[in-house]
Structure 1
């Protein structure tokens, strides 16, 4: 049976890998393991050892604590400004893709887009 913390850590590995645009194969090569092992970590089927998590954190350029952020959250969603937002927004692939696209926009245009989104959300 999968432990909820192992599943959470695996999701955080997958989301960070996806955010930096790295494949399972690329991460596996940086860590020195087979990509199938990365698959097992990401699904929570295999528990990540402390030393392996350290290697993964270095490869993905985040502190080890990143993988445990939000682990205590039990609520399925949070209500913010009258809108339901998933508690684990990183679980939504569309949201991740939106964030990646947003940060690929030049800073001055990104700020204008942010202001437009803020205005539109206030109207809704």
Structure 2
């Protein structure tokens, strides 16, 4: 019998990963800052190991972000998304999963550097058209 990570532990770990990647910090660097191995950081990020309150405080300081960041959008204690309809939670989960990937972060960083709102709108329209065309196949 394999132990399934608690949804909140997975969420907090995923937020640690997202923040770490957003600032361009490696698992090794975060591990060094905390006196841990990169394997321990991997386990935290996957939710396999729970992060204690004191450790989360250290991570918060190392990643230069408030503690509340790690709980933003967290599921309720039973694993269900908080607030809204179930469908909205599923869609939000897919978006969060994508944003936390390397390509999702890369895409967001590049998109954020585009200053012209018209160009940004055209890119959104293009991606929407590509996604809609992909669903039709």
Category of TM-score, reference length = shorter chain: 0.7 to 0.9
Is 1:101 the counterpart of 2:110 in the alignment? yes
Unaligned runs of 5+ in 2: 76-80, 133-137
Aligned length: 115
> 2:18 matched to which residue of 1?
15
> 1:117 matched to which residue of 2?
123
1:80-95 correspondence runs (5 A): 86-88=91-93, 89-92=95-98, 93=101, 94-95=103-104
C-alpha displacement of 1:50: 0.5
Task: Calculate the aligned-residue CA RMSD, in Å.
Answer: 2.7
Determine which structure has the larger strand proportion and give its number: 1
Unaligned runs of 5+ in 1: 80-84
> 1:78 matched to which residue of 2?
88
C-alpha displacement of 1:102: 2.0
Normalising by structure 2, what TM-score?
Answer: 0.69
Contact 2:31 2:41 in 1 (8 A): yes
CA deviation profile, 1:53-93 (whole Å, cap 9, x unmatched) = 011111112111111111122677539xxxxx831323112
Evaluate the alpha carbon distance shift between residue 23 and residue 53 of structure 1 in structure 2; reply closer, same or farther with a 3 A threshold. Answer: same
Normalising by structure 1, what TM-score?
Answer: 0.76
